Amino acid sequence: MDIVKKVLQANSAFTKAAYEKIDKIPRWHAVVISCMDTRLVDFLEPAMGIKRGDVKFIKIAGNVVDDNLNDVIKSLMVCIYELEVREIIVVGHKNCGMENTTATSLQTKMTKNSINDTAIKNILPDLNNWADKFEQPAQNVLYSVQNIKNSPYLPNDIPVHGFIVDPDSGELTLLVNGYDK
């Protein structure tokens, strides 16, 4: 079955059920930044005690948050200034696929998939700056927390917490308690 049919069939069944209307303002006044890893879907939320409507979620490859004005920082600006978010939680995970991703591996695979050489050359500095910065999941969480805390676009009084989750057991390890100064 193709993916479009599968999605539409699931949606048809889903919409027959009644669901509580949820406000766009998160009940916990928090946002979680996590990796896009498929093992975390419907797994990270219960591991953290999160239910629909509790938090905002931002999912990106490797939960990498750089120190510039990027899409994650822009999303955090909307969360904080428009949607009453007052805390930020960065969650990395063990055995992340980004550990084996490099600018060279991406460039090679893009070339094999007939991506224009000029297009690749135009983004190489960004790929090097992004993919090659990823070290270990715990180090990446610390890096991301620091970049969020130091962002000139975000208030400096927002607690930023950092965790690592085991994608097999769901066990969380606290790396940064944003309440500690």
Q: Check whether residue 83 and residue 48 sit in a common domain.
A: yes
The model's pTM: 0.90
Which residues, listed in sequence order, are joined to residue 59 by a DSSP beta bridge?
34
Q: Check whether 96 is labelled as a binding-site residue.
A: yes
- The answer to the question of residue 56 being in a domain is yes
């919409």: which residue's tokens? Answer: 15
- Taking a C-beta distance cutoff of 8 angstroms, is the pair 178, 95 a contact? no
In a domain, 174, yes or no: yes
Instruction: Say if residue 87 is in the same domain as residue 153.
Output: yes
What pLDDT is stored for residue 77 in this prediction?
Answer: 98
Compute the residue count for the chain.
181
pLDDT of residue 1: 66
35 is an annotated ligand-binding site residue: yes
Whether 70 and 144 have beta carbons less than 8 Å apart is answered as no
Q: Are residues 39 and 87 in the same domain?
A: yes
Do 61 and 81 belong to one domain?
yes
* Residue 37 is labelled as binding a ligand: yes
Q: Are residues 89 and 101 in the same domain?
A: no
For residues 53 and 29, state if they share a domain. yes
Please report the pLDDT score of residue 129 as a whole number. Answer: 77
Per-residue pLDDT of the chain (181 residues; tens, 9 = 90+): 699 999 999 999 999 987 889 999 999 999 999 999 999 999 999 999 999 999 999 999 888 898 888 999 999 999 999 999 999 999 999 988 888 888 888 999 999 999 999 998 898 888 887 777 777 889 999 999 999 999 999 999 999 999 999 999 999 999 999 999 7
What pLDDT score was predicted for residue 112? 94
Q: What is the pLDDT of residue 59?
A: 95
Supply the pLDDT for residue 123. 87
Q: Are residues 92 and 106 in the same domain?
A: no
pLDDT value, residue 67 = 86
Give dist(CA 165, CA 93) in Å, integer.
Answer: 5
- For 62: left if phi > 0, alpha if psi spans -120 to 50, otherwise beta; the answer is left
Q: Is 157 annotated as a binding residue?
A: no
